[in-house]
């Protein structure tokens, strides 16, 4: 799944994700598959799904979301979301735009 996500092969990453019991790492791995295509809405949905399933959301998850926003040329939304998220997660070396 990691190889599929890193290469941006969303279809394979989704198929592999559906075939396992999700854990926090696999959620983040699937999110990373969507970054290259700028599918920030999907990443945001996965963040919420991860939270609803009782898993901790990390600055890395939001960094993936921010990167997808930038890829989609949604700079203003990225800044707005970054400011919103910084209330929950003070920026550190992992939460970079």
In a domain, 19, yes or no: yes
Q: Is residue 30 part of a domain?
A: yes
Q: What is the mean pLDDT of the chain?
A: 89
Main-chain phi, psi angles of 22, to 5 degrees: -60, 145
Q: Name the residue range of residue 70's domain.
A: 2-88
Does position 1 have pLDDT exceeding 80, yes or no? no
Is 96 within a domain?
no
Record the pTM.
0.86
Mean pLDDT of 63-68: 94
Please indicate whether residue 1 or residue 97 has the higher confidence score (pLDDT): 1
CA distances from 49 to 5, 24, 76, 84 (A): 18, 11, 25, 19
> Which pLDDT score, from 0 to 100, does residue 64 have?
93
For the chain, what is the domain count?
A: 1
97 within a domain of the structure (yes/no): no
8: left (phi over 0), alpha (psi -120 to 50) or beta: left
Predicted confidence (pLDDT) at residue 95 exceeds the cutoff of 70: no
Model confidence pLDDT, tens digit, residues 22-65: 899 999 999 999 998 889 999 999 999 999 999 999 888 999 99
């Amino acid at each position: 799944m990691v190889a599929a996500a890193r290469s941006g092969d969303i279809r394979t990453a989704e198929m592999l994700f559906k075939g396992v019991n999700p854990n926090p790492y696999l959620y983040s791995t699937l999110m990373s598959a969507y970054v290259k295509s700028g599918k920030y809405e999907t990443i945001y949905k996965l963040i919420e799904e991860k939270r609803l399933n009782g898993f901790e959301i990390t600055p890395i998850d939001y960094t993936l979301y921010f990167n997808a926003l930038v890829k989609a040329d949604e700079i203003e939304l990225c800044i707005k979301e970054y400011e919103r998220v910084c209330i929950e997660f003070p920026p550190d070396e992992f939460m970079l735009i």
